[in-house]
Structure 1
């Protein structure tokens, strides 16, 4: 999925203002149709990984942060419409450090040494009456035993206990502005701490630092468990794309093809997509983030499918473009071959020590060469690159980080202002494309309305690269065979 630009509602301490009306609605039970307290529970409240990887991740992040207290809430629950909540997904940073899936939870952690830390999880208590409606909760006691936390307490005690914890520290690692209710509640904690120690002329609050950039730096290089999860997500996603190629035919709606892809994801164990599926047939393929998926697919057209399954909170991100009728027309094949050559050139540019944008530069060179060969661009390659002549038809970057988020955490620029260099363990997409608007009079009519993108997920290894999504065919003849019902 091309990138356009290359936390939790918590209970305030007693005496503070009440939550917003939407937050209140989430805690209100109706006699006729009880409202889930925070969105319906997922089938499990913890990752399939053991607790040890999460403890190791917490230690590495805390070592980056240094002395102080980390306070990290999960994502908030949000209402979709009326009293219906969006399906809950934990915040990625929170889950990366906890492995905990339930809503209304906060991690509080401090480092005791370079090898030891103390982690406390605040979460919803067990409530049998509530669990009849929403499903089982883990509860504090089992959180310690099953998730490896040092302590766990009900959410209602968060701010009272934070007073004792923050009263002993001069640094707080917390992201201001992500959760207004929690920001205001922490302000009241700071006020009470200052009043209690007024004779000491204390600071109004500890030094507050955003932990996000350091968590992102840690997430950028995947650990062994993260790579395993990405491998599994890639396998599921590849199966969905192969199914789509075999299923596509003239006369079906784009959303029917979407249903086949996502049903494959679900059957193989993915509970949700990593992002909204793009099923763009005909001229819709020229809209980069087209998600309406409501057009009837016609004979002789291409369909661009950009879809990825999420598994264990990690997502794949695959794009393939293939013929609805099973065979590329000659103009379609000409454009497709340019994009495929560009993608292969970009893949060869992925290796440790190279700049992260080296794949993009390689893709541009190959794309311009292909457009020159078709007569769509004229002039010397070097001059065309300097003029960015490709951007009329290839207007996005070639790569973005991939992991727990489809456009994953981690900066692209080093502190010295230079592009980041690739390291073993990083995962990025490689996805060049060409898009010729149906209204583009600068190209021959036979190319108008053609949009092609080819995207794979790539792990940087010590010796080079490994394409995680190579199970989905992309050679022109292999794509046609699969679309015609033959095994590629």
Structure 2
């Protein structure tokens, strides 16, 4: 209630003045303040049917409730992150929040999913700030939530119907000293991470879609290779071709694209992408599309820029593929996750020993205590879980992750590589500057595994034919 004698328009103007921290603000004339809330078509809100993932998210919430009886649990969506000055990065909700609500690209910042303990389990409420519509001064004055600035935002009623969750205004949310909060409580954070280790049917559908769009993105890259070759920063052309597909058919990339041509391919996380794309060399592209549900693919292909591999390039490439195929062949429920890496590394060690690059035998290099000489040429792991995060389930315990038992429904990568840096004197000159990685996304089935990205060409012969077809 206004008790100062101000008019509503004056109150609004003062609120705007108090909130303003910029020297660019233009004052609103009185006529604007008197009329801005009038003259709009009446809105009729039609409540949506529950979205496809709503029952799956409800099942996940039930599992979380059962694991923490009597505890008040808080899972936040997170807030926007500053990029520079008054410019923010695009908002992406916390992965545990997405998993437990089913809210994906349309989730809003600063929301809180609250599990209130009851005798029967928990009452779950999603608290968020309802839209600043035309009935409030924030409609035009608040660039963060005002609909004049950011477009329509969901109402409490609409989100409740959409997600199948009770909703309430964020002003009704308050913390307590006994709250277990994701990101602050290790037990809760670990549990919600491990809850994602096995994917349900909805999640697998989203993973397939993410891989499908990613495959289209790789085809776009090949079609644009000539333009990349012609540009002094051709790696950026490659990155841009993939980005266009990610934004047109998905939400974004699931992580920064690696477009590493020539010797840049030997740097595992090369994301500057400012180098030339030169015929005769290879380009390693590690990229994945994140779809609107926020599930992401993670695929790597290494392409001969001219369209054909040299003899040495093919030798390295096929060695990496052999390692990937060997790792895939052992995947089935009941093995330990670490066996995937161990199998791939057995092939890598054998190959570099065969080429005379090791000071010891392959068997000696594979010794867990005194070996490791082959790891000079592949220092990273072979596999990681994949889902809402590109490195999914990162908070899981080691005994559930690296030392864990593989189960049906798990999704992870297989991505061996070989990297011979340009100044590495331990390898013959013909190998220097060659970097190769092949990465596929795998789902564990009842009796083995399925390569979700198998339709993206993998063998050296198939890659050459793929490039020739798309550049014809």
Normalising by structure 2, report the TM-score. Answer: 0.82
Contact 1:246-1:484 at 8 Å conserved across structures: no
Per-residue CA deviations over 1:29-85 (Å, capped at 9, x if unaligned) read 974599xxxxxxxxxx99963422211111111112222211111122111101011
How far, CA to CA, are the matches of 1:359 and 1:46 in structure 2? 42
Specify which of 81, 86, 92 is matched with residue 84 of structure 2: 81
Matched, 1:396 2:380: yes
Structure 1 residues 90 and 297: CA distance shift in structure 2, 3 A: same
Q: CA deviation at 1:144?
A: 2.0
The count of aligned residue pairs is: 413
Structure 1 residues 50 and 429: CA distance shift in structure 2, 3 A: closer
Per the alignment, residue 181 of structure 1 pairs with none
How far, CA to CA, are the matches of 1:235 and 1:348 in structure 2? 23
How far, CA to CA, are the matches of 1:30 and 1:74 in structure 2? 31
How far, CA to CA, are the matches of 1:149 and 1:420 in structure 2? 33
Contact 2:332-2:449 at 8 Å conserved across structures: yes
Specify which of 99, 123, 127 is matched with residue 122 of structure 1: 127
My pick for the range that moved more, 475-484 or 405-414, is 405-414
Per-residue CA deviations over 1:198-250 (Å, capped at 9, x if unaligned) read xxxxxxxxxx7741111111111111111111111011111111222343233
Per the alignment, residue 215 of structure 1 pairs with 192
Structure 1 residues 266 and 441: CA distance shift in structure 2, 3 A: same
Q: CA deviation at 1:263?
A: 1.4
Between structure 1 and structure 2, the one with the greater Rg is 2
Alignment of 1:65-464 (within 5 A): 65-100=68-103, 101-110=107-116, 112=118, 117-128=122-133, 129=139, 130-150=146-166, 152-159=167-174, 172-175=179-182, 177=184, 210-249=187-226, 250-252=229-231, 253-267=234-248, 269-311=249-291, 312-377=293-358, 379-386=360-367, 387-410=371-394, 411=396, 413-414=398-399, 419-464=403-448
Following TM superposition, the consecutive aligned residue runs of length 4 or more in structure 1 with deviations greater than 4 angstroms are 24-30, 45-48, 111-114
Question: Any unmatched runs of 5+ in structure 2?
Answer: 1-17, 29-47, 134-138, 140-145
Contact 1:412-1:419 at 8 Å conserved across structures: no
* CA-atom RMSD in angstroms: 2.7
Per-residue CA deviations over 1:332-391 (Å, capped at 9, x if unaligned) read 111111111011111112111111011111111111221122222364332121111211
Contact 1:276-1:307 at 8 Å conserved across structures: yes
Per the alignment, residue 59 of structure 1 pairs with 62
Normalising by structure 1, report the TM-score. Answer: 0.79
Contact 1:355-1:420 at 8 Å conserved across structures: yes
How far, CA to CA, are the matches of 1:54 and 1:26 in structure 2? 39
My pick for the range that moved more, 321-330 or 364-373, is 364-373
Contact 2:190-2:397 at 8 Å conserved across structures: no
Contact 2:260-2:273 at 8 Å conserved across structures: yes
Question: Any unmatched runs of 5+ in structure 1?
Answer: 1-23, 35-44, 178-207
How far, CA to CA, are the matches of 1:348 and 1:106 in structure 2? 43
